[in-house]
Chain A
Amino acid sequence: MGRKVKDTLAKGIIYLATGITLSVLLFIVGFIFVKGIGLVNWKFLTRDYNETVSYVFVQAAEVPMSIDADNLKKENPYDARYESLIDGPIYIKSIGAAIAKVQYRNNYTEKEQFVIAYIEKNSPLLNAKDSTGKNVDIKTDDIIKRINGINLKNLTLQEAAAQIDNESGELKIKVVQPGGGVKSNIITTLYMVLLSLVIAIPLGIFGAIYLTEYAKPGKFVNTIRFAAECLSGIPSIIFGLFGMAFFVVALKFQISLLSGSLTVAIILLPVIIRSTEEALKTVPTSFREGSLALGATKLQTIFKVVLPCAVPGIATAVLLSIGRVVGESAALLLTAGTVAQIPGTFLSPGSTLTVQAYYVAKEEGNIELACAIGIVIIVIVIVLNVLSRFASDKLDVFNKK
């Protein structure tokens, strides 16, 4: 009888604990999703964070509209997060495009703006160039500020349209391409993952090979192992400080993609070494003996037999590492910076999604945007996980019977 009660009690506690854990998890993910999902759309993913202002040159033409007026009304390129339609759109032949007046709000201001609502297939806007002759990609929802030096600010939609239609020859248009997106952060994140893995994985694997296959067991190996274990326990801000002092300042790599990925690579090394070591240790001695008995050298044995067997374990390490890089904020804040841009070179700064989430939440107080970025992070982590799991299954030599 007593035992039965104890059993039931224990069971209850187990269920309760599981339930609590699960609901906390669901609550957090749910919270992020509910808060942020309203901001996540295609434009959010494909736009830069900062708006870009540019002057473009366009050859005025006479382009008739190919759709009828009702369909023009149905065009809806406006970003619901920032814009609501006030008037229009009206089609303008000289630029082969329609403009509309919208109420536009960004983080700081609320203004009426003229935005491009529709672009004809043979519109001269599609051949827009900047002053250096480079092509500028004009899209719908871009804001038109000025035409040939005339500010459109205080005009009605009809006046603005007439103004644009009146001009001929080469038009100089001031265009603002709206920001608010995380494209650069997504790309920076992927760069960061790629670069730090490219640095850390070979180093980690060779380190693990040395420790398991070459080093004589003893004090030295134990010291290295202990050091690696300690390293994995140190909070990443410490690595960030080191990275800042060493890579950024001493080696003059500046706050950059390179400094960031080197710092993260150091954070990853212990994890990769440990899991690769474990993976190498589980490869049966009989494979090593079999290979050596066939006259293979030690190096051949390691690279042709032992390492391929260890691939699933190494893949797990890669998986964990990807999670670490995507999730890293403190160290990257100090070494790769908070500039939301696609790093043009290894030495340019760029903020990853996580850093960007921190930045918009802390510096701009924009929790919704931070949550929206959170959703992107969660999705990226899930996708990368699925991908590497798939890859490790494909590469698992024991799977192919």
Chain B
Amino acid sequence: MDKKIKFDAKNLDLFYGDFQALKSINLNIYEKEVTAFIGPSGCGKSTFLRCLNRMNDLIESVRINGEILFDGQDINGDIDVINLRTRVGMVFQKPNPFPMSIYENIAYGPKCQGLKDKTKLDTIVQESLTKAALWEEVKNRLNKSALGLSGGQQQRLCIARTIAMQPEVILMDEPTSALDPIATAKIEDLMFKLKKDYTIIIVTHSMQQAGRISDKTAFFLMGEVVEFNETPLIFTNPADKRTEDYITGRFG
């Protein structure tokens, strides 16, 4: 495979105060693939994901060693965080639409970048919702509050909101863990479609989900990446004993 490397983590350590949550992570994320992070809870998947758009900046006690290159540039160095976050979008575990109208939710990001043109905004809203497979369901209620949507719709709205920024990467932290199976299936379908245009990194609790949607899988354990490989290989022929134990359900 000669796909381009989007993210390149090199010897990344992360501390919450004295507690080391990530230990010397080395990981390549390739462009226009779905990369899944699996592992027992508390092993540092979310923490690592949040390093990729510098979301950990919000937490006072965090300290980071090592580097993460994004298109070859160290994101912990002298870069514009706002710009990074417009290029690396994020969808959270619990759907978190803002308490505004559906339209305003989608237009929020572009507006924050200073876009005021109503027709451009209209186009962005429609395109993003269409890409997120939500347009048909909400086109008649764009001015209604986003809080009136179902959980699954809210999560697709959050994906649409992220797409509206035309990011290069979409980070997803257990995006379906708060949803029912039908809504989950819809989101998985969506990810399949999105992978053509975006690099997707997804944290998931469900190994079936990782198996279904991802191209590569990284297995995290206690702050380390135990194994990182093509998804089919991880699931059929894991190199590490601990990976095998985890995917066969012997622990975690």
Contact = CB atoms under 8 A, between A and B. Distances in A.
Contacts of A309: 99
A398 B112 contact: no
B44 interface: no
Interface string A201-237: 0000000000000001100000000000000000000
Interface string A267-300: 0000000000000000010111111111111001
A379 interface: no
Interface string B72-97: 00000000001101100110101011
A289 B85 CA distance: 11
Given A304-B108, A398-B147, A401-B145, A292 B98 contact: no
B108 A294 contact: yes
A304 B112 CA distance: 9
B162 A294 contact: yes
Interface in A370-401: 397-398, 400-401
A289 B58 contact: yes
Nearest to B54: A292
A293 B147 contact: no
A216 B85 contact: no
Contacts of A286: 92, 94, 96
B112 A297 contact: yes
Interface residues of A, number: 24
Given A297-B82, A305-B98, A397-B99, A292 B112 contact: no
Interface in B150-171: 158, 161-162, 165
A312 to B, nearest CB: 11
Describe A's contact surface by its main secondary structure. helix
A64 interface: no
A296 B98 contact: no
A400 B58 CA distance: 30
B128 to A, nearest CB: 12
A400 B145 contact: yes
Contacts of A294: 85-86, 89, 108-109, 112, 161-162, 165
A300 B98 CA distance: 13
A308 B100 CA distance: 10
Contacts of B100: 308, 397
Nearest to B148: A401
A216 B92 contact: no
Interface string B55-67: 1001010000000
B113 interface: yes
A190 to B, nearest CB: 33
B145 A216 contact: no
Contact of B85 (A292, A300, A398): A292
Nearest to B93: A286
B53 interface: yes
Interface in A284-329: 284, 286-297, 300, 304-305, 308-309
B53 A293 contact: yes
A398 B165 contact: no
Contact of A401 (B98, B113, B147, B162): B147
A289 B55 contact: yes
Contacts of A291: 98, 108, 112
Given A295-B113, A308-B99, A290 B92 contact: yes
B89 to A, nearest CB: 7
A291 B55 CA distance: 11
B61 to A, nearest CB: 11
A295 B97 CA distance: 15
Given A286-B96, A305-B98, A308-B99, A296 B147 contact: no
A288 B161 CA distance: 15
Contacts of B89: 293-294
Nearest to A309: B99
B49 to A, nearest CB: 11
Nearest to A286: B96
Given A295-B112, A304-B112, A290 B85 contact: no
A295 B99 contact: no
A128 to B, nearest CB: 56
B17 to A, nearest CB: 14
Nearest to A288: B58
A293 B145 contact: no
A289 B92 contact: yes
Interface of B: 53, 55, 58, 60, 82-83, 85-86, 89-90, 92, 94, 96-100, 108-109, 112-113, 144-145, 147-148, 158, 161-162, 165
5 contacts: A289-B55, A290-B98, A291-B108, A294-B165, A308-B100
6 tightest Cβ-Cβ pairs between the two chains A and B: A295-B86, A397-B99, A294-B109, A286-B96, A293-B90, A401-B148
Given A295-B85, A297-B112, 4 more contacts: A290-B161, A292-B55, A293-B55, A293-B90
